[in-house]
Amino acid sequence: MGILGQSWSGVRRMGVMAMAGVLAAGLATSAGSPQVASAEPVPPAVVGGDPVRTNAVEALRVMPLGDSITMGTGSPSRSSYRMELAKRLLKGGLQINYVGSQRNGIGSDINHEGHGGWNIDELATKVDDWLAAARPDVVLLHVGTNNFKEGHSAYKTARKLSALLDKIRAARPEVHIFLAQITMSRLPGEAAEARVYNRLIPQLVADRRDGRITVVDQSSIAGIDLHDLRHPNDFGYSKMAWNWYRAMAPALGASGYTGPNPYTMQNTVRCLRQKVTVGGRTRHRTECRTWRLRTTTMQVNGVNRRVRTWLTLRVVPQTYRVRVNGKLEARTRMVQRWTGPGDLLDV
């Protein structure tokens, strides 16, 4: 398993489990109050005491745990959010080592525990083995998408999530869990259940009275941030990396400028899967286009309003009429026009 990053600023590791204990003590919050990631990263806290080891620095062991979104489906490189997050943590002064039984992505540190198509129950059957083998200090948990794909309700899925958290805590008492409110599906039924599930998560964490769980809101990754119905494209994954980093930085002692905030970008490339009909048969292809945040007029509840929205410049047919020998005839020409995603979202 590869190692990414610089050592923690001013901190020599005392051994993986010893430092994990120090982190756990420093991260505890008041009983019944879950940590919810929202604040900008702050300067690292000072960890007191003399280190046991002075001749070696060990990286924080981070396990990305989940399904195909953790694995990286939707990204050509299969790097998911993991490589972008590792770069931000590196720039923030934090040394990490991704751990897990799976390997996908670009680079040397590509281990993870993302399993395509697995629901929470299936992950729970193996999580004890994975945790014992990888010994993570931190778990990044994004789960539930496949439960909704299989028709489970939000409340049932939240109960399964609670049971999975119990297993993780029993196996690794000192591990810090960063728990995602999940990304949105394009399918209305799945998205509706996911919204309820995401609303349940902060209270579920509060009821546990566990100061080593931080809730991370990933629900803003939706629509054209997705390559297909459920999986982010690279821009969506960059947003996920930003959200993870904003949660991890104050908790783990990273700080400083780590690159632009994707949420403030005005231009970006997004790759979306789309349907095409060739010879009467429906197929899929990926279209990568530059999108720009623009002000335009849209109808909202029957009223025209000026709104900011993402648009892309396309060459589209335009029908017009000309008078020929006293008669109006319809003709077509190709013009450039700023358009939204249209039927690209129907895949």
The string of pLDDT tens digits covering residues 171-229 is 999 999 999 999 999 999 999 999 999 999 999 999 999 999 999 999 999 999 999 99
Judgement on whether residues 136 and 41 belong to the same structural domain of the protein = yes
Judgement on whether residues 279 and 228 belong to the same structural domain of the protein = no
Judgement on whether residues 147 and 224 belong to the same structural domain of the protein = yes
Q: Tell me how far apart the alpha carbons of residues 63 and 138 are, in angstroms, rounded to a whole number.
A: 6
Query: Is the distance from CB of 145 to CB of 182 less than 8 angstroms?
Result: yes
What is the predicted pLDDT for the residue at 74? 96
Residue 9 lies in a domain: no
| Residue 328 structure tokens | 């109006």
| Residue 29 structure tokens | 């919050």
Q: Tell me how far apart the alpha carbons of residues 161 and 198 are, in angstroms, rounded to a whole number.
A: 11
Judgement on whether residues 271 and 256 belong to the same structural domain of the protein = no
What is the predicted pLDDT for the residue at 344? 67
Mean model confidence pLDDT for the chain? 85
* Per-residue pLDDT band at 97 (split at 50, 70, 90): very high
* Per-residue pLDDT band at 275 (split at 50, 70, 90): confident
pTM: 0.81
Residue 157 pLDDT greater than 90, yes or no: yes
Residue 7 lies in a domain: no
Domain C-terminal end among 263, 295, 311:
263
Judgement on whether residues 317 and 246 belong to the same structural domain of the protein = no
The amino acid occupying position 219 is S
State which residues form the domain around 304: 267-345
Least confident of 114-123, 126-135, 326-335: 326-335
Domain C-terminal end among 263, 290, 306:
263
What is the predicted pLDDT for the residue at 45? 34
Judgement on whether residues 299 and 201 belong to the same structural domain of the protein = no
What is the predicted pLDDT for the residue at 47? 29
What is the predicted pLDDT for the residue at 343? 67
What is the predicted pLDDT for the residue at 57? 63
Average pLDDT over residues 314-324: 90
Judgement on whether residues 122 and 231 belong to the same structural domain of the protein = yes
Structurally, the chain folds into a number of domains equal to: 2
Judgement on whether residues 31 and 92 belong to the same structural domain of the protein = yes
Judgement on whether residues 100 and 217 belong to the same structural domain of the protein = yes
Backbone angles phi, psi at 56, to 5 degrees: -155, 150
Residues 6 or more apart from 192 whose CB is under 8 A from it?
none
Strands 96-98 and 60-66, bridge-based pairing: parallel
Q: For residues 4 and 149, which has the higher predicted lDDT (pLDDT)?
A: 149
Per-range mean pLDDT, top range of 17-26, 53-62, 155-164: 155-164
Judgement on whether residues 86 and 199 belong to the same structural domain of the protein = yes
Domain C-terminal end among 263, 296, 326:
263
Residue 51 lies in a domain: yes
Residue 8 lies in a domain: no
DSSP assignment of 263-315 equals: GG-SEEEEEEEEEEEETTEEEEEEEEEEEEEEEEEEEETTEEEEEEEEEEEEE
Judgement on whether residues 257 and 304 belong to the same structural domain of the protein = no
